[in-house]
Amino acid sequence: MPIYEYICKDCDRHFEAVVYASTKAQCPGCSGSNLEQQLSRFAVGNAEPKSAAPSSGPCGSCGDPRGPGSCSLN
């Protein structure tokens, strides 16, 4: 049973709906069916903002997740 996110074009309400086989979602606020399906965060995953610097991986000496040079070990 997939869960979809929608925006109702009639009342601008954002909501999630469990959609079974051939059933269609309906706005819980106004009962409208003029809906825009949204890209779910679950489907996208846990993406970092584009402005974030790419991680170089954990430190090879101590395993610090901030990367090499983050700890006091040489």
CA torsion angle 27 32 35 41 (round to 10): -10
Fold of the CATH domain 3-43:
Rubrerythrin, domain 2 (2.20.28)
Contact 18, 5 (CB under 8 A): no
For the cut 60, the answer to whether the pLDDT of residue 3 exceeds it is yes
pLDDT single digits (tens) 48-71: 555 555 555 566 667 667 777 666
Question: To the nearest whole percent, how much of the chain has pLDDT over 90?
Answer: 24
pLDDT at site 66? 72
**Domain assignments of the chain as residue spans, ordered by start:** 3-43
The residues facing 37 across adjacent strands are: 6
Find the DSSP H helices in 24-69: 41-44
pLDDT at site 56? 55
Contact 39, 20 (CB under 8 A): no
pLDDT single digits (tens) 37-47: 887 665 555 55
pLDDT at site 73? 60
